[in-house]
Structure 1
Amino acid sequence: MTGVAGPGRRSALALGLAAVLSACTSTHGKSTASGGVRTDLEPLERRFTALGPLSDAHWLGVALGSDNDSRVPGPTDVRVVGFARLRAGAVAALKGASQRGFQPAQPRRLPDELVPFMPENARWVRSESFDRQMTGERYSGTFFLDPGADWIYFDTTNPSAPSSSTT
Protein backbone atom coordinates (compact mmCIF):
# COMPACT_ATOMS: atom_id res chain seq x y z
CA MET A 1 0.00 0.00 0.00
CA THR A 2 1.38 3.40 -0.90
CA GLY A 3 0.98 6.61 1.06
CA VAL A 4 -0.60 8.43 -1.90
CA ALA A 5 -4.36 8.65 -2.03
CA GLY A 6 -5.99 7.84 -5.36
CA PRO A 7 -8.16 10.32 -7.24
CA GLY A 8 -11.36 8.79 -5.82
CA ARG A 9 -10.24 9.27 -2.22
CA ARG A 10 -8.97 12.78 -2.90
CA SER A 11 -12.31 13.73 -4.43
CA ALA A 12 -14.19 12.29 -1.45
CA LEU A 13 -11.93 14.18 0.99
CA ALA A 14 -12.34 17.42 -0.96
CA LEU A 15 -16.13 17.04 -0.98
CA GLY A 16 -16.13 16.30 2.76
CA LEU A 17 -14.00 19.37 3.50
CA ALA A 18 -16.27 21.52 1.34
CA ALA A 19 -19.32 20.25 3.25
CA VAL A 20 -17.67 21.04 6.61
CA LEU A 21 -16.72 24.54 5.58
CA SER A 22 -20.14 25.26 4.08
CA ALA A 23 -21.78 24.14 7.35
CA CYS A 24 -19.97 27.00 9.09
CA THR A 25 -20.78 29.51 6.38
CA SER A 26 -23.79 31.76 6.45
CA THR A 27 -25.18 33.09 3.18
CA HIS A 28 -25.31 36.47 4.92
CA GLY A 29 -21.78 36.18 6.35
CA LYS A 30 -19.34 39.03 6.16
CA SER A 31 -15.60 38.71 5.99
CA THR A 32 -13.09 41.38 6.72
CA ALA A 33 -10.16 41.97 4.43
CA SER A 34 -7.83 40.03 6.74
CA GLY A 35 -7.81 36.42 5.56
CA GLY A 36 -11.26 35.05 6.20
CA VAL A 37 -11.98 36.61 9.58
CA ARG A 38 -15.74 36.60 9.90
CA THR A 39 -17.94 39.19 11.56
CA ASP A 40 -21.38 37.64 11.13
CA LEU A 41 -23.26 36.95 14.36
CA GLU A 42 -26.00 34.44 13.48
CA PRO A 43 -23.80 31.29 13.45
CA LEU A 44 -22.38 32.23 16.87
CA GLU A 45 -25.68 33.22 18.45
CA ARG A 46 -27.24 29.96 17.23
CA ARG A 47 -24.47 27.85 18.80
CA PHE A 48 -23.92 29.89 21.98
CA THR A 49 -27.49 30.74 22.95
CA ALA A 50 -26.68 31.08 26.67
CA LEU A 51 -24.64 34.20 25.90
CA GLY A 52 -27.56 36.19 24.56
CA PRO A 53 -27.15 38.81 21.84
CA LEU A 54 -23.59 39.36 20.60
CA SER A 55 -21.85 42.22 18.82
CA ASP A 56 -18.39 43.17 17.52
CA ALA A 57 -17.55 39.56 16.60
CA HIS A 58 -14.33 38.54 14.87
CA TRP A 59 -13.99 34.81 14.41
CA LEU A 60 -12.73 31.96 12.25
CA GLY A 61 -14.07 28.56 11.24
CA VAL A 62 -10.97 26.48 10.51
CA ALA A 63 -10.97 22.90 9.22
CA LEU A 64 -8.62 20.98 11.49
CA GLY A 65 -5.81 19.05 9.86
CA SER A 66 -5.67 21.35 6.85
CA ASP A 67 -2.22 22.89 7.37
CA ASN A 68 0.84 20.80 8.16
CA ASP A 69 -1.08 18.19 10.12
CA SER A 70 -0.76 14.89 8.25
CA ARG A 71 -3.80 13.22 9.84
CA VAL A 72 -7.06 13.28 7.96
CA PRO A 73 -9.78 15.14 9.87
CA GLY A 74 -13.22 13.69 10.42
CA PRO A 75 -16.10 15.11 8.45
CA THR A 76 -16.99 17.66 11.14
CA ASP A 77 -13.66 18.62 12.70
CA VAL A 78 -13.94 22.40 12.60
CA ARG A 79 -12.37 24.82 15.06
CA VAL A 80 -14.57 27.85 15.71
CA VAL A 81 -12.50 30.46 17.52
CA GLY A 82 -12.82 34.19 18.10
CA PHE A 83 -14.06 37.14 20.09
CA ALA A 84 -17.44 38.75 20.60
CA ARG A 85 -18.90 41.34 22.90
CA LEU A 86 -21.85 40.50 25.13
CA ARG A 87 -24.54 42.97 26.15
CA ALA A 88 -23.52 45.32 28.98
CA GLY A 89 -23.39 43.53 32.32
CA ALA A 90 -23.76 40.03 30.84
CA VAL A 91 -20.35 38.79 31.97
CA ALA A 92 -20.99 39.90 35.56
CA ALA A 93 -24.32 38.06 35.48
CA LEU A 94 -22.72 34.91 34.07
CA LYS A 95 -19.91 35.05 36.61
CA GLY A 96 -22.23 35.69 39.53
CA ALA A 97 -24.96 33.20 38.60
CA SER A 98 -23.42 30.42 40.70
CA GLN A 99 -20.20 29.17 42.24
CA ARG A 100 -18.41 28.40 38.99
CA GLY A 101 -14.90 29.02 40.27
CA PHE A 102 -13.75 31.53 37.66
CA GLN A 103 -10.00 32.09 37.81
CA PRO A 104 -7.65 34.41 35.92
CA ALA A 105 -6.43 32.71 32.73
CA GLN A 106 -5.06 33.62 29.33
CA PRO A 107 -6.23 32.25 25.97
CA ARG A 108 -3.67 30.11 24.17
CA ARG A 109 -3.23 29.17 20.53
CA LEU A 110 -4.72 32.43 19.27
CA PRO A 111 -4.70 32.29 15.46
CA ASP A 112 -2.53 34.98 13.87
CA GLU A 113 -5.53 36.31 11.92
CA LEU A 114 -7.29 37.19 15.20
CA VAL A 115 -4.37 38.94 16.93
CA PRO A 116 -5.40 42.40 15.61
CA PHE A 117 -8.86 41.93 17.15
CA MET A 118 -7.73 40.91 20.66
CA PRO A 119 -9.41 43.34 23.06
CA GLU A 120 -6.83 45.61 24.63
CA ASN A 121 -6.27 45.33 28.38
CA ALA A 122 -8.62 42.36 28.68
CA ARG A 123 -8.51 40.64 32.08
CA TRP A 124 -9.63 37.15 31.16
CA VAL A 125 -11.17 34.66 33.56
CA ARG A 126 -12.16 31.07 32.89
CA SER A 127 -14.11 28.30 34.60
CA GLU A 128 -14.17 24.62 33.64
CA SER A 129 -17.70 24.48 35.05
CA PHE A 130 -18.77 27.29 32.72
CA ASP A 131 -17.06 25.53 29.78
CA ARG A 132 -19.12 22.39 30.51
CA GLN A 133 -22.31 24.44 30.79
CA MET A 134 -21.66 26.16 27.46
CA THR A 135 -20.78 22.99 25.56
CA GLY A 136 -23.40 20.80 27.22
CA GLU A 137 -20.60 18.24 26.93
CA ARG A 138 -21.63 17.81 23.25
CA TYR A 139 -18.34 19.25 21.94
CA SER A 140 -15.05 20.55 23.29
CA GLY A 141 -14.49 24.20 24.03
CA THR A 142 -13.05 26.82 26.32
CA PHE A 143 -14.60 30.20 27.04
CA PHE A 144 -12.73 33.16 28.52
CA LEU A 145 -14.66 36.15 29.86
CA ASP A 146 -13.52 39.73 30.42
CA PRO A 147 -15.80 41.17 33.13
CA GLY A 148 -14.46 44.69 32.64
CA ALA A 149 -15.66 45.09 29.06
CA ASP A 150 -18.07 42.16 28.49
CA TRP A 151 -15.87 40.35 25.97
CA ILE A 152 -15.80 36.62 25.41
CA TYR A 153 -13.09 34.60 23.71
CA PHE A 154 -14.22 31.17 22.56
CA ASP A 155 -12.14 28.31 21.22
CA THR A 156 -14.27 25.32 20.29
CA THR A 157 -14.18 22.20 18.15
CA ASN A 158 -17.36 21.19 16.33
CA PRO A 159 -19.69 23.49 18.28
CA SER A 160 -23.31 22.54 17.87
CA ALA A 161 -26.48 24.41 18.63
CA PRO A 162 -28.24 23.26 21.79
CA SER A 163 -30.90 20.70 21.02
CA SER A 164 -34.39 22.06 21.30
CA SER A 165 -37.21 20.30 23.08
CA THR A 166 -39.13 20.11 19.81
CA THR A 167 -37.93 18.18 16.81
Structure 2
Amino acid sequence: MNGVADFGRRGALALGLAAVLGACTSPSNSWEDSTVRTDSEPLERRFAALGPLSDAHWLGTVLGAEGRGSVPGPTDVRVVGFARMRTGGVRALAGAPQWRFRSATPSAPPEPLLPYLPESARWVRSPSFDDEVTGRRYAGTFYLDESEDRVYFDTTNPLPVSSSGP
Protein backbone atom coordinates (compact mmCIF):
# COMPACT_ATOMS: atom_id res chain seq x y z
CA MET A 1 0.00 0.00 0.00
CA ASN A 2 2.85 2.37 0.81
CA GLY A 3 4.33 1.75 -2.63
CA VAL A 4 1.04 2.76 -4.26
CA ALA A 5 0.90 5.93 -2.13
CA ASP A 6 4.51 6.77 -3.02
CA PHE A 7 3.78 6.17 -6.68
CA GLY A 8 0.73 8.40 -6.40
CA ARG A 9 2.73 11.25 -4.89
CA ARG A 10 5.60 10.77 -7.31
CA GLY A 11 3.19 10.46 -10.21
CA ALA A 12 1.37 13.63 -9.18
CA LEU A 13 4.69 15.43 -8.82
CA ALA A 14 5.82 14.22 -12.24
CA LEU A 15 2.53 15.27 -13.84
CA GLY A 16 2.72 18.66 -12.14
CA LEU A 17 6.30 19.15 -13.32
CA ALA A 18 5.35 18.13 -16.86
CA ALA A 19 2.47 20.63 -16.83
CA VAL A 20 4.73 23.44 -15.62
CA LEU A 21 7.41 22.66 -18.19
CA GLY A 22 4.79 22.40 -20.93
CA ALA A 23 3.37 25.78 -19.99
CA CYS A 24 6.82 27.36 -20.03
CA THR A 25 7.75 26.18 -23.48
CA SER A 26 6.78 28.30 -26.41
CA PRO A 27 7.37 28.26 -30.11
CA SER A 28 10.62 29.77 -31.30
CA ASN A 29 8.82 32.95 -32.36
CA SER A 30 5.14 33.19 -31.48
CA TRP A 31 4.91 36.54 -33.30
CA GLU A 32 6.34 35.44 -36.64
CA ASP A 33 2.93 35.08 -38.29
CA SER A 34 1.44 38.13 -36.60
CA THR A 35 0.31 41.14 -38.57
CA VAL A 36 1.08 44.54 -37.08
CA ARG A 37 -2.22 46.29 -36.56
CA THR A 38 -2.63 50.04 -36.90
CA ASP A 39 -6.21 50.59 -35.75
CA SER A 40 -6.53 52.65 -32.56
CA GLU A 41 -10.17 52.04 -31.66
CA PRO A 42 -9.67 48.63 -29.95
CA LEU A 43 -6.87 50.19 -27.86
CA GLU A 44 -8.91 53.25 -26.91
CA ARG A 45 -11.75 51.00 -25.68
CA ARG A 46 -9.32 49.08 -23.46
CA PHE A 47 -7.01 51.89 -22.35
CA ALA A 48 -9.45 54.78 -21.89
CA ALA A 49 -7.19 56.48 -19.30
CA LEU A 50 -4.70 57.20 -22.12
CA GLY A 51 -7.18 59.34 -24.01
CA PRO A 52 -7.35 59.46 -27.80
CA LEU A 53 -4.62 57.45 -29.54
CA SER A 54 -3.14 57.66 -33.02
CA ASP A 55 -0.24 56.22 -35.01
CA ALA A 56 -0.79 52.83 -33.37
CA HIS A 57 1.34 49.77 -34.12
CA TRP A 58 0.40 46.72 -32.10
CA LEU A 59 0.08 42.96 -32.00
CA GLY A 60 -2.33 40.57 -30.38
CA THR A 61 -1.75 36.88 -29.95
CA VAL A 62 -3.25 33.95 -28.11
CA LEU A 63 -0.74 32.74 -25.54
CA GLY A 64 0.11 29.07 -25.36
CA ALA A 65 -2.14 28.06 -28.26
CA GLU A 66 0.62 26.00 -29.87
CA GLY A 67 1.28 23.89 -26.78
CA ARG A 68 -2.28 23.44 -25.54
CA GLY A 69 -3.38 20.63 -27.81
CA SER A 70 -7.00 19.94 -26.96
CA VAL A 71 -6.81 20.79 -23.27
CA PRO A 72 -9.87 22.90 -22.43
CA GLY A 73 -9.53 26.03 -20.37
CA PRO A 74 -9.33 29.78 -20.51
CA THR A 75 -7.45 31.48 -23.29
CA ASP A 76 -5.00 34.28 -22.54
CA VAL A 77 -4.45 37.01 -25.10
CA ARG A 78 -1.38 39.26 -25.10
CA VAL A 79 -1.69 42.74 -26.60
CA VAL A 80 1.55 44.71 -26.98
CA GLY A 81 2.50 47.78 -28.97
CA PHE A 82 3.01 51.50 -29.35
CA ALA A 83 0.67 54.43 -29.89
CA ARG A 84 0.86 58.20 -29.87
CA MET A 85 -1.17 60.09 -27.28
CA ARG A 86 -2.58 63.56 -27.82
CA THR A 87 0.00 66.37 -27.76
CA GLY A 88 1.00 67.02 -24.14
CA GLY A 89 -0.82 63.91 -22.93
CA VAL A 90 2.26 62.25 -21.50
CA ARG A 91 3.39 65.43 -19.76
CA ALA A 92 -0.03 65.79 -18.12
CA LEU A 93 -0.02 62.22 -16.84
CA ALA A 94 3.66 62.03 -15.87
CA GLY A 95 3.42 65.33 -14.04
CA ALA A 96 0.49 64.26 -11.86
CA PRO A 97 1.89 63.64 -8.36
CA GLN A 98 -0.44 60.74 -7.54
CA TRP A 99 1.19 58.51 -10.17
CA ARG A 100 4.88 58.91 -9.20
CA PHE A 101 6.28 58.02 -12.59
CA ARG A 102 9.92 56.92 -12.58
CA SER A 103 12.46 56.10 -15.27
CA ALA A 104 12.03 52.53 -16.43
CA THR A 105 13.17 50.27 -19.22
CA PRO A 106 10.54 48.08 -20.86
CA SER A 107 11.34 44.60 -22.04
CA ALA A 108 12.18 44.41 -25.73
CA PRO A 109 9.07 44.52 -27.91
CA PRO A 110 8.32 41.59 -30.20
CA GLU A 111 10.42 41.65 -33.37
CA PRO A 112 7.63 42.83 -35.72
CA LEU A 113 7.31 45.99 -33.58
CA LEU A 114 11.01 46.91 -33.54
CA PRO A 115 10.71 49.30 -36.53
CA TYR A 116 8.23 51.37 -34.48
CA LEU A 117 10.37 51.62 -31.35
CA PRO A 118 11.22 55.30 -30.80
CA GLU A 119 15.02 55.51 -30.93
CA SER A 120 15.47 58.30 -28.39
CA ALA A 121 12.65 57.34 -26.04
CA ARG A 122 13.11 58.06 -22.35
CA TRP A 123 10.51 55.81 -20.82
CA VAL A 124 8.82 56.35 -17.47
CA ARG A 125 6.43 54.02 -15.67
CA SER A 126 4.15 54.07 -12.66
CA PRO A 127 2.74 50.85 -11.18
CA SER A 128 -0.15 52.84 -9.70
CA PHE A 129 -0.93 54.25 -13.16
CA ASP A 130 -0.82 50.68 -14.54
CA ASP A 131 -3.50 49.83 -11.96
CA GLU A 132 -5.55 52.86 -13.01
CA VAL A 133 -5.53 51.85 -16.68
CA THR A 134 -6.24 48.17 -16.01
CA GLY A 135 -8.65 48.71 -13.13
CA ARG A 136 -6.72 45.83 -11.56
CA ARG A 137 -8.80 43.53 -13.75
CA TYR A 138 -5.95 42.30 -15.95
CA ALA A 139 -2.15 42.41 -16.14
CA GLY A 140 -0.61 45.35 -17.95
CA THR A 141 2.33 47.71 -17.96
CA PHE A 142 2.37 51.12 -19.62
CA TYR A 143 5.54 53.06 -20.39
CA LEU A 144 5.32 56.70 -21.44
CA ASP A 145 7.76 58.82 -23.44
CA GLU A 146 7.25 62.57 -23.22
CA SER A 147 9.51 63.49 -26.14
CA GLU A 148 7.11 61.96 -28.68
CA ASP A 149 3.93 61.55 -26.57
CA ARG A 150 4.27 57.79 -27.02
CA VAL A 151 2.99 54.94 -24.93
CA TYR A 152 4.33 51.39 -25.00
CA PHE A 153 1.90 48.85 -23.57
CA ASP A 154 2.25 45.17 -22.77
CA THR A 155 -0.92 43.56 -21.48
CA THR A 156 -2.55 40.20 -20.97
CA ASN A 157 -6.31 39.87 -21.42
CA PRO A 158 -7.04 43.62 -21.63
CA LEU A 159 -10.72 44.20 -21.05
CA PRO A 160 -12.69 47.05 -22.59
CA VAL A 161 -13.77 49.74 -20.17
CA SER A 162 -17.42 49.32 -19.25
CA SER A 163 -19.77 51.71 -20.98
CA SER A 164 -21.08 52.98 -17.63
CA GLY A 165 -17.67 54.33 -16.58
CA PRO A 166 -15.98 57.58 -17.52
TM-score normalised by the chain length of structure 1: 0.72
Distance 1:76 1:44 in 2: 19
Contact 2:144 2:150 in 1 (8 A): yes
Structure number with bigger Rg: 2
- Unaligned 5+ segments in structure 2 are 1-32
- RMSD of the TM alignment (CA)? 2.0
Distance 2:136 2:107 in 1: 21
Contact 1:64 1:73 in 2 (8 A): no
| Structure 1 residues 152 and 85: CA distance shift in structure 2, 3 A | same
- Equivalent residue, structure 2, for 1:39: 38
- Equivalent residue, structure 2, for 1:56: 55
- Whether 1:118 and 2:117 are equivalent positions in the alignment is yes
The code of the aligned residue for 2:119 comes to: E
| Structure 1 residues 74 and 143: CA distance shift in structure 2, 3 A | farther
Distance 1:119 1:38 in 2: 17
Alpha-carbon distance, 1:73 to partner: 8.3
| Structure 1 residues 154 and 82: CA distance shift in structure 2, 3 A | same
Contact 2:63 2:75 in 1 (8 A): no
The code of the aligned residue for 1:49 comes to: A
| Structure 1 residues 93 and 112: CA distance shift in structure 2, 3 A | same
Alpha-carbon distance, 1:125 to partner: 0.4
- Equivalent residue, structure 1, for 2:80: 81
Ranges of 4+ aligned residues in structure 1 off by more than 6 Å: none
| Structure 1 residues 96 and 115: CA distance shift in structure 2, 3 A | same
- Whether 1:135 and 2:134 are equivalent positions in the alignment is yes
- Unaligned 5+ segments in structure 1 are 1-33
Distance 2:164 2:63 in 1: 31
Distance 1:113 1:119 in 2: 14
Alpha-carbon distance, 1:35 to partner: 4.3
CA distances 1:32-58 after superposition (whole Å, capped 9, x unpaired): xx9401001110011111111111110
Q: What SS is found at the alignment partner of 1:92? A: helix
Q: How many residues align?
A: 132
The percentage of aligned residue pairs carrying the same residue is: 64
| Structure 1 residues 111 and 51: CA distance shift in structure 2, 3 A | same
CA distances 1:54-90 after superposition (whole Å, capped 9, x unpaired): 11110000110135x5686843410000000001000
Task: Looking at secondary structure, tell me which structure has more helix per residue.
Answer: 2
- Equivalent residue, structure 2, for 1:7: none
